[in-house]
Structure 1
Amino acid sequence: MAILELNIENESPKISDLSIHIKCSTMELLAYKNDIEDLFARGFLKSHYLDIVTLESWKGEFSIMPDVQDAIFSNKKLSVTSPQPLSEVELCFEIERQIDHCRTVKYNRVQLYNQWNVIQRNYGHYDMIKFLQNNIYDLNDCYSFLYIVAENLKGYRTTDLSNTSRGLFANMGIRIDFENKTINKEWPAIKQGYINVNGDLASRANLGLTTKACKLLNSFKIPVSLGKKPKNDSLTMADSIKKKKMFYNAFAKAELEQITASLKPLKYKQITRSLKGEGYPTGICTLFYGAPGTGKTEGVYQNAKATGRAV
């Protein structure tokens, strides 16, 4: 119940957060570590950082699975199945999700980097992970390569270098070093002919898989291809939107606050599941109306900023 209460407040607690919430010491709570591990293994809890269930999952932030939350709120029975290992394709998508999350909502990159050790221990037998290990790629090289693979699997022939580096590095200096290394083709994956880089400036450079990389990944049963259209990189990411203080009348302010609350991750999942359960299209569509200069467009941008979405 303590985890549920914190999840409702849009928090994914760690063991230390739980101990504060239920007013006991961390050492007292660690006596129940095996029970928490069992909840992960049985599919009741998920890690906030990576969709991989291991004996280390309890060490990070975690939350109750959405289906379990829905069953609790609607007071209905639920058959929970134990989580299965991720496939190589799912692993790529999961790492892409984590990097995108780092870029849009200032995700904890230390946890992102720590997950690479978890991946190697639990998925080191996968051909793709073996390939990355055998080529002595460092952690950032591995994550960048997997991110490009995931983008290709989604149909994007190229991906933006600056978007990738913003997800990987919080420190501007390290980010610039990585971008320069990539543009100067000093990245091992580029030297070895697996990645193409086009552009001489980070803001305009794109990365993509080569024919050599596609053949290799296809041999691993990963269905990448070069026959797709380039990605449309016209999105404005949440972290690039400047936060502004907006002034509305009481009615408009209440409406906007309701929209923002509905777009928070937990509430949004509840709404979309309820709509789907009733047979309606999922998602939220909002009409902003008013005279020019009343804050319609800026309201959209500030809402995107507050909820970690792109425009």
Structure 2
Amino acid sequence: METKVQFNVLESIENMYKFSEDSQLRPALFETLGDDLKHLSRYLQVNEMQALLFANAFIVSFEHSRMSNVFSHFGFPDYKMVFYLQDIEVLFKKKLLLKERHFDAQRMDYLIDRKISHAITKNLNPDLIKTELTDLSQVLEEFDKYSEMYDNESITKPELDRYLFSLTDEYPNIEFFKKLDQWSLPPYEKFFLLDTIWDAISCGDNNYNTMVQKTLDDYFPSRTASISVINRLVEGNSNLIKYNLIDVLKNNYRNRIKARLSKSLVNLLKETEKLEIDFFEEENKRLIQSKSIKKKELFYNEAEISAIETLKSTLVESKFKQLQKRLDKKAMPLGITILLHGKPGTGKTESVYQLAKESGRNIFKVDISQTKSMWFGESQKLVKKIFTEYQEFKETEKKCPILLFNEADAIIGKRKEAGSSNVSDTENAIQNILLEELENFNGILFATTNLVENLDAAFERRFLYKIHFEKPSSQVAAKIWKSKLPFLSEEEAFELASKFDFSGGEMENIARKILMDEVLNNISPCFDGVMNYCKNENWTNGSVSKIGF
């Protein structure tokens, strides 16, 4: 709240300026200015020498905003400033003086903050004067006030930019600002990042609280400039994305796009500033806990059993660690990469789940269709981000988790001719990134595909194991039928296996229909009912293939 003070501030400053001329700051000056010095030092919450320096800097700023000019007014040569550097620094720390953007330590270019100037000319208490800020939260609260002042046109854009530029010098004790300098963000990105951090602190969480366009509109006087920056953010052409500082939640309407702090920035703030900000994992559907996977008995053909047993052995934690050490010792790639290929419904994905269940490894599952982003050029970035997120997930796990690329046909198929279409070029770019990531991969990766004949040759050497899943043989199919429908006799199960060339997935569909009939329609399960469903399982009448005919 603005309140009047009991003495005339501007008059005291003027007296101090007049009597200081050519005084060389002799003791007699301080005797002459006794009451004025006492009042102003209390008003500014500084000592008398600092009050005298400020008073002269205030008047000099109307012509030349340099501390060297203040000392010329005292009748001193420039070098005399050296003896008063500690007092001058206090004025900068208290924000009574602001450093010019291109600050020269010899001339000491400065500005008088507009709010201080307003308080002095109106003879009001200076609300901006405060004790030295010691942590990031306090500085961000101050930043928020500067943002409001800019919004209310109390300060200009150059003044706001100067404030953003000065943070590292003003607060050398805050490690985060040193990192901020290293990223070389332009002022509008600094503004956006600080605003996003403050949103997370003030809201108490990090759940996409920052409206991107509104924040940029707060900085830019022109909506066109805001839209241009939004486009760069969405396309990944921003330092905020390049340095993984924020996550952007996209929307079909760009004025509804939201942002939050990235997990790596949240971790950095915790490490450097002891700032605790919750990071919502958004109930990530990609993460599958091994304990949540239901145990299932799977039946394999003879050729597949050997390969699956090898994988089981590889995923035993003690053997996995031993294998990684040996690979590292021989300077070989540490990643274990497995391609499971075969027709739909042959148990590829379920095999990964059961291997994860048995080995106690959680799964980071990727839906490849999500890499086909609606934003042009985003798909490549999403693929790269998948591997970054997997590594972050891996660091939080006791056991190395499994990265599962389910139904990966779309990204490991043969490459299209370059330049044939934008879609083809995007798919080729995705494959190049995937090949690069696989080359340096450190973890466990499973990829499943139905179209191995279409596999690009460049991927063949990237997969350590390649396991082909056939439809079950008659003997294996009979076991599957018996496990799914226990009421069947051995002979009935073998008859179904001999007559119908079904995958395990198709057999499960029929078993589910039998169960639904029993629950919903009170129809007792029987062999004839199963036979009828088998005859109608495929899309076309002629598609049922009878083995042996």
When normalised by structure 1's length, the TM-score is 0.50
Pick from 196, 205, 224 the counterpart of residue 148 of structure 1.
196
More contact order relative to length (CA 8 Å, sep ≥ 6): 1
Which of these residues, 64, 71, 83, is aligned with residue 131 of structure 2?
83
Shift in alpha-carbon separation, 1:91–1:213, aligned structure 2, 3 A: same
Q: Percent of pairs identical after alignment?
A: 11
- The amino acid across from 1:168 in the alignment is Y
Mapped contact 1:211–1:226 kept (Cα < 8 A): yes
* C-alpha deviation, 1:150, in angstroms: 1.0
Q: Measure, in 2, the Cα distance between the counterparts of 1:82 and 1:165.
A: 29
> C-alpha distance in 2, partners of 1:223/1:106?
33
2:185/2:239 contact within 8 Å kept: yes
Q: Residue 181 of structure 2 is aligned with which of 126, 133, 138?
A: 133
SS at match of 1:224: coil
* Paired AA for residue 94 in structure 1: E
> Distance in 2 between the 1:154 and 1:134 partners?
26
Distance 1:62 1:39 in 2: 19
Q: Deviations over 1:215-249 (max 9, x none)?
A: 111111122223599xxxxxxxxxxxxxxxxxxxx
Is 1:110 matched up with 2:158? yes
Residue matched to 2:113: 60
**2:243 counterpart of 1:192:** yes
Match 1:222 to one of 275, 281, 287: 275
User: Would the alpha carbon gap of residues 173 and 62 (structure 1) be closer, same or farther in structure 2, given more than 3 Å must change?
Assistant: same
SS at match of 1:142: helix
* CA displacement at 1:205 relative to structure 2: 1.1
In the alignment, structure 1 residue 123 sits paired with structure 2 residue 174: no
Q: CA deviation at 1:104?
A: 4.5
Contact 2:183 2:243 in 1 (8 A): no
Change in CA separation of 1:228 and 1:69 when aligned onto 2, cut-off 3 Å = farther
* Higher radius of gyration, 1 or 2: 2
CA distance in 2, matches of 1:176, 1:198: 16
One-letter code of the match for 2:232?
K
Q: CA deviation at 1:153?
A: 0.8
CA distance in 2, matches of 1:212, 1:47: 36
Counterparts in 2 of 1:174 and 1:62: CA distance versus 1, 3 Å: same
Q: Distance in 1 between matches of 2:276 and 2:194?
A: 13
Q: Identify the residue that residue 205 of structure 1 maps to in structure 2.
A: 257
Kept in 2, the 8 Å contact 1:195–1:210? The answer is yes
Report if the CA contact (8 A) 1:149-1:224 is conserved: no
| Alignment gaps of 5+ in structure 2 | 1-7, 13-54, 75-80, 100-107, 283-549
Q: Secondary structure at the match of 1:137?
A: coil
Gaps of 5+ in 1: 6-14, 20-24, 72-80, 230-311
Q: How many pairs does the alignment contain? A: 202
How far is 1:109 from its partner?
0.9
* Alignment-derived partner of residue 222 in structure 2: 171
Which string of whole-angstrom CA distances, capped at 9 and with x for unpartnered residues, describes residues 44-99 of structure 1? Answer: x865989xxxx76653324259xx9569xxxxxxxxx9722342221222223322
Supply the distance in 2 between the matched residues of 1:225 and 1:26 (Cα, whole angstroms): 50
Distance 2:245 2:168 in 1: 21
Q: Give the corresponding residue for 2:234.
A: 183
Letter in 2 for 1:118: S
How has the CA–CA distance of structure 1 residues 96 and 183 changed in structure 2, closer, same or farther, with 3 Å as cutoff? farther
- Separation in 2, partners of 1:102, 1:42: 22
